[in-house]
Chain A
Amino acid sequence: MQFFQYGNEGYKSILDPRTKLLLLVVINVVIIGTGFTGTDFLLRIVCAAIPLVLFVIIRRYRTALLYGLVCLVMFFGEAVLIPCTTGTINLLIVITLGPFSRILVGYAFAYYMMCSTTVSEFVTALKQMRVPDQISIPLSVMFRFFPTLAEESHAIRDAMRLRGIRLTGKNGGLLKQIEYEVVPLMMSTLRIGDELSAASLTKGLNPGKPRTHICRVKMELWDWALVALSLGFLIYMLVLR
């Protein structure tokens, strides 16, 4: 897994973490708040295209392809299927497409953010934004931890399948299922937490004390262009509409 690693592997993240944070907010505001006609729809397409381009830039071609395909289906559904159906079929399409069209783009961008930002860069950027350590350390640990959680729960689910624990059957039941899945997850969370604290203690992490780092975090031309773009979006969303 290549999420949020401590070292840059081969590629250089071209965006500043601060730009990424701003873009994340703006993309979500636009995607959640806009409709599917006229300028609104154009805005949606632009927002959806941003993660696509970024995926290509960090050489995640497979993710980009998959994301692009899902987006195409989604936009086709929004622009063509929903307006021309009514009643139950419409509701059905809406319920299946709804979650995707509302959150897919934002989460794709969040995913990009996690793949392309190292913890060191993220913490440095937060520091430059004058975010106190009490917020920035848990925040970066949190982002770092989501992929680990996914990995762990995958392993747990595999183990459950191996022992034949399913929703139905002898060992079935929804509540039981939840217990079997959540409890081991919490166990490993505790263990990983202890290990992570030991590791960071060794590295000399201490809240309130200055930290040393070698990564460079700087706003470049691209960043300013995207900041201007997202400010434009925000003005459109909040004032013009």
Chain B
Amino acid sequence: MDKKLNAKDLINIGIFTALYFAIVFIVAFVGYIPIMMVIMPALCALIGGIPFMLFLTRARKFGMVTIMGTLLGLLTFLLGRPWLSILFGVVAGLVADLYLKGSDYLSIKKAPLSCGIFSLWIVGMALPMFFGFRDAYFESLRPGYGDAYVDALSKLTPSWMFWVLIVTIFLGGLLGGFLGAKILKKHFVKAGMA
């Protein structure tokens, strides 16, 4: 099999990234309620696992998952997050890709775990709330969102929350992977599409 990416692969990456992003984006709207902010990223990863698993049935070459991660990082950057979020996308995609390469992209057992790894790009979206960005971000929210909202949000997100987020996102992605595998089996394998 030809190992180089051809036009068909690139187009598949494009449409699946669009599908994935659209779904994650709709789920992310839940996060505007402060308490939901904590579980929103995991929820995104969970639902996003479904299209991602379908994408994996089309990804048989090294690089496709990496490019998808890069594009997602690029999108988050275009929508005003710190540029570091691109890095998260690239690295998460690359690691997931390398992991899948170990089984030549054929093992369905490895797919959910790679889905969990890949989901970590979402960390880039939550980045403004932590580390050096934290104070500036909350200060910028304060005049607009009001003290009540900001206090609620900052109480919910102490800095150790960052690591909790990573774990919950990973678990969410893992579960999403299993969910996706189940849905694939139920709907797509039967129809001969996966």
**Which A residues lie at the B interface, using CB under 8 A?**
21, 24-25, 28-29, 31-37, 40, 78, 82, 85-87, 90-91, 94-95, 98-99, 101, 103, 106, 110, 133-135, 137-146, 149, 178-179, 182-183, 185-187, 189-190, 192-193, 196-197, 200-201, 205-207
A138-B10, A182-B51 known; A196+B15 contact, CB < 8 A: yes
Which residues on the B side are within 8 Å of A33 (C-beta)?
A: 80, 136, 140
Q: Can you sample 17 A-B contacts with CB below 8 Å?
A: A32-B140, A37-B143, A86-B146, A91-B152, A98-B32, A101-B144, A103-B79, A134-B63, A135-B71, A135-B74, A138-B17, A139-B74, A182-B23, A182-B50, A182-B183, A192-B15, A200-B7
Residue with the highest number of chain A CB atoms closer than 10 Å, among B51, B74, B140, B142 = B140
Interface size of B by Cβ–Cβ distance < 8 Å?
50
Residues of A within 8 A of B183 (CB): 179, 182-183
Contact of A197 among B8, B21, B68, B79 (CB under 8 A): B8
B1 within 8 A of A: no
Are B74's CB and A91's CB within 8 A?
no
Question: What CA separation (Å) do A193 and B136 show in the bound complex?
Answer: 42
Q: Chain A's interface: helix, strand, loop or mixed, by majority?
A: helix
Chain B nearest CB, measured from A95 CB (Å) = 6
Q: Chain A residues with Cβ under 8 A from B108's Cβ? A: none
Instruction: For chain B, residues 76 to 99, give those with C-beta under 8 angstroms from any C-beta of chain A.
Output: 77-80
The binding surface of chain B is classed by DSSP as helix
Chain A residues with CB below 8 A from B148, complex form: 86-87, 90-91, 94
Q: Are A189 and B19 within 8 A (Cβ)?
A: yes
Nearest Cβ distance between residue B88 and chain A, in whole angstroms? 17
Q: Are A149 and B11 in contact (CB under 8 A)?
A: no
Q: B80, A36: Cβ atoms under 8 Å?
A: no
B60 → chain A, closest Cβ, in Å? 14
Q: With A37-B143, A87-B148, A196-B11 as given contacts, are A186 and B19 in contact (CB-CB < 8 Å)? A: yes
The answer to whether the Cβ of B14 comes within 8 Å of any Cβ in the partner chain is yes
A149 touches B7 (CB 8 A): no
Instruction: Give bound CA distance, A196 to B11, whole Å.
Output: 7
Closest Cβ neighbor of A175 among chain B residues: B179
B19 touches A149 (CB 8 A): yes
Is B77 within 8 A of A190, CB to CB? Answer: no
Contact: B12 with A193, CB < 8 Å?
Answer: yes
Chain B residues close to A by CB (< 8 Å): 5-8, 10-19, 21-23, 29, 32-33, 47, 50-51, 54, 58, 63, 67-68, 70-71, 74, 77-80, 136, 140, 142-146, 148-149, 152, 183, 187-188, 191, 193
| B146 surroundings in chain A (CB, below 8 A) | 82, 85-86, 90-91, 94
A205 vs B7: C-alpha distance when bound (angstroms): 7
> When the two chains form their complex, are residues A134 and B144 in contact, meaning their CB atoms are under 8 A apart?
no
Among B23, B68, B146, B188, the one with the most A-chain Cβ atoms within 10 Å of its Cβ is B146
Cα distance, A25 to B81, chains bound together (Å): 9
Instruction: Flag if B140 contacts A141 (CB, 8 Å).
Output: no
A134 and B7 within 8 A (CB):
no
